[in-house]
Amino acid sequence: MTDETVTTTGAPGTDAVDTDAGAETVGAETVGADVAGGDVAGGEVAGTSAADDGAAGEDDVLVTVEGIEVHFPIKRGIVLERTAGYVYAVDGIDLTIRRGETYGLVGESGCGKTTLGRGLLRLVEPTGGRVVFDGTDVSTLKGEALRTSRRRMQMIFQDPLSSLDPRQSVESILVEGMRAHGLDKGKQSTRARLVELLDSVGLPESALHKYPHEFSGGQRQRIGIARALAVEPDLIVADEPVSALDVSVQAQVLNLLEQLQQRLGLTYLVIAHDLAVVRHISDRIGVMYLGSLVEEASSDSMYAEPMHPYTKALLSAVPVPDPTVEDDREQILLTGDLPSPAHPPTGCRFHTRCPWKQDTLCDTDRPELRDIGGGHRVACHYAEDIRAGEIGRHEVEPELVHPDT
């Protein structure tokens, strides 16, 4: 391990430093070393996953989501509650996640991406649609069957501190899931498994008897990852896995996730608002706007040629830490705010803010997600015309959105 690190960092005097920093940083170090430990490895990952993309057949699908809907009722009244309306958090989404791939779900706050992730895991009850996981329809499971089915689908949370019970030691956090699924078969083997788990997320064995508040943000997220791994899942839904972390620590966790995927053959659904993060980690990306998917494509194709006006605006809005890029960037500034998901606009939900909006179809017909070649799916009536340059951008009068209506 030490050798590897030295060769990667390759700076004078590192041998002294890297043995330092103690147990705490060694883990982080290892991860960095493994991924950076040769650009070759990184290149290979990208290569294989791209190949998978093309060859993906029906039986390679791990998760199929069909028309999933999560509508939250808005209750009014104190004694006699009545439903005054619904928040259409997720409103009819189809998507498939292939075995071993990373599907990135991106969108701004209020677009329903978190609810979709939770609905998929049945942490909130979908009000419609189906989720098929590895051939089993999990949307109809109840009670004990639902509980045991959870072993194969795990979750990583945004806030690593609040997602860990402050009263539990790391050991008890990790054992809990194993116990729930009968995976702790004896003191010896459990102990060995715990050490192995910690090692795989780059934490020392001494962490077992500590409590969450005694760790740094990055380390807590590692504990959260180890908890998910403890039950040997196939799918991990990672909801904003790095957005609560310091910039310098984010890369450690991203690298760890990639390394674990390679080693354990995990499938990820990564939910994030940060396009750069999603772009970095995902094979395919879905873009959400107001409860529906507006575009879906491979990571590279999404970046190279965004088709949906919203995706275009989103991509152009991400600041890039490179002054040259920033200087000649053409920004597509959206006007106004996200409309309320309780009163979504008619037709295409983006038409109120769309700089390419046309007089027909946009405000009347809701566009379906359709394949426009090479697995690039987009929900826009005029995607081809915009690509061909036949429709130009125009000014949009901002509509004011009141958040409480």
Partner 1 sequence: MSILSTRKAEKIDSLAEGGTSLAMDALRRTFRSPVAILGLVIVGLFVILAIISPFIAPKDPYRPYPELKAELTPSNIPGPMPGFLLGSDQNGYDFFSRLLVGAQQTLFVGVFATLIGVAIGMIIGGLAGAFGGWVDSVLMRLTDIMLSVPSLLLAISIAALLPGSQWTVIIAVAMIGVPVFARLLRGAMIAQRSSDHVLAATALGVKRKTIVFRHMLPNSIGPVIVQATLTLATAIIDAAALSFLGLGDSDWRRAEWGLMLGNAQELLSVKPSLAFFPAIAIIVVALGFTLLGESMRESLDPKNRR
Partner 2 sequence: MALLDVRDLGVVFKRKGTRPFTAVDGVSFSVEPGQTVGLVGESGSGKSVTSLALMGLLPKRGAEISGSVTFEDTELLTLSDKQLRDRRGRDLGMVFQDPLSSLNPVITIGLQITEVLERHRGMSRKEARVEAAELLDRVGLPDPQRRLDEYPHQHSGGMRQRVLIAIALACRPKLLIADEPTTALDVTIQAQILSLLSDLVSETDTALIMITHDLGIVAGLCDNVNVMYGGRIVERAARHDLFERSRHPYTHGLLQSIPRLNAPRGEPLTPIRGSVSDNIEWEQGCAFAPRCPNATDVCWSEPPELKADDGRMLRCHNPVALGDAVTEGAL
DSSP state for residue 339 in the 8-state scheme: P
Judged by beta carbon, residue 58 or residue 404, the one nearer partner 2 is: 404
Residues 6+ apart with CB under 8 A from 245: 160, 217, 218, 221, 253
Interface positions, 99-118, toward partner 1 (CB under 8 A): 118
x-marked contacts with partner 1 along 275-294 as a string, rule CB under 8 A:
--------------------
Per CB under 8 A, contacts with partner 2 among 207-236 are 216-219
In this complex, which beta carbon is closest to partner 2, that of residue 178 or of residue 294? 294
54 contributes a contact to partner 2 by CB under 8 A:
no
Q: Is 35 among the residues that bind partner 2 (CB under 8 A)?
A: yes
**CB of residue 361 to partner 2, shortest distance in Å:** 23
Nearest 5°: phi and psi at 150? -65, -20
Beta strand spans in 216-333 (E): 235-239, 267-272, 284-289, 292-298
Q: Which one of 1, 23, 46, 146 is in contact with partner 2 (CB under 8 A)? A: 46
266 closest CA partner among 125, 156, 389: 156
The single residue among 60, 246, 305, 385 that binds partner 2, judged by CB under 8 A, is: 246
CB 117 within 8 A of CB 127: no
Q: Residue 333's closest CA among 396, 383, 389, 384?
A: 396
Stretch that binds partner 2, among 69-77, 204-212, 362-370, 392-400 (CB under 8 A): 392-400
Is the Cβ–Cβ distance between 146 and 126 less than 8 Å?
Answer: no
* By CB under 8 A, residue 180 contacts partner 1: yes
Q: What is the DSSP string of 356-399?
A: T--SSSTTTSPPPPEE-STT-EE--TTHHHHHTT-S-----PPP
Is 177 near partner 1 (CB under 8 A)?
yes
- Interacting residue ranges for partner 1, rule: CB under 8 A: 16-17, 19-24, 118, 121, 123, 147-151, 153-155, 157-159, 162-167, 169, 176-177, 180-181, 204, 206, 209-211, 213-214, 224, 227-228, 231
